[in-house]
Structure 1
């Protein structure tokens, strides 16, 4: 747009800007406690998701006292080149990138406080990407390179990879984008799924952990 700094925006741009600003109204009312660590051991849960708009991740700490708190979350705009792929290929690859994004975040948090987390689980809602990670049978160099890094982090940090229903995945909010007023009222976003601290409500696990995962890093949902 080749215009001077004080030119008047076109009406359609003014309306578009107004709609964007409306989405962020109330953002200042969202409060997330900063003092997350009280010296107790905890379980770390990282959720990952992807859409045509963005990759999203959100991490939560569950203490032995039964408190669940949002630690950190972020989103990254989906690369344009990935949107040009056939949808049957692009969606699984988007989710694979989101999974890698989540594993990197988990590694960062573990290395930041290695004495804190007794177990770490990365959750996402696409079975195709999980099958790629477990089988390592894809013929695509793009997929294999990312699977190699995911497995390297998984072995180093003893991560469990688990499937979660989309309705229980807080990273879905980050990947598709929601208004600030939705985030403000969302317990899913601020505190994670209720079953993180209630084992009896945990969704059935249809996706397998490997024998190595069961022995090396059993999932431990800490009691309330």
Structure 2
């Protein structure tokens, strides 16, 4: 996209997300609990739990809180029974939005999500209305200047699905969701450390919003991400703050 830096946009977006996550151990604890419940309490054999544990350590979550959250998932400690629920809708100018939640009360959660959409210029849609526009995958983003040829060789060898070059010089490595941790670790061992990475819903086609529309869209995303039950918000738009 001419005149636009995908690197700068993702850097800004991830920075905002990390700030919010660091302020809320409770959201990370929910993810630890559900990950352990779904795939067992050993991060070595549970990629989702490994990611959640890495995230918890990255924001200096105390070890006892991490351990207790995992034990609640495995049943060693009594805990709240969280369920995963996804909502889909439309943001500013019809931008596709996916909201992933962990909740113990779906009635409360859907009411909160619907209220946020309605109040800040969006609309809550029906199941499946926008999910087909996204790909569930692992994503690793490398800063402009990385040795793309060498990175591609290692990435493909260790099982990545694709390597994408952006106009601003940044490079994305795409993996299957369950392969993300293995590919990330293999790349790190080869000296390629991503600036950002995670399992995400990546839009097949992105559209750019600027000016007031971008500000309104950012407000909607911020409000959704601020809800207690919301874990992740994905959108098809690139926000231009310039």
Same fold (TM over 0.5): no
The structure with more radius of gyration: 1
TM-score (norm 1): 0.24
- Identify, as 1 or 2, the structure richer in strand: 2
TM-score (norm 2): 0.23
Greater RCO (Cα-Cα under 8 Å, separation 6 or more):
1
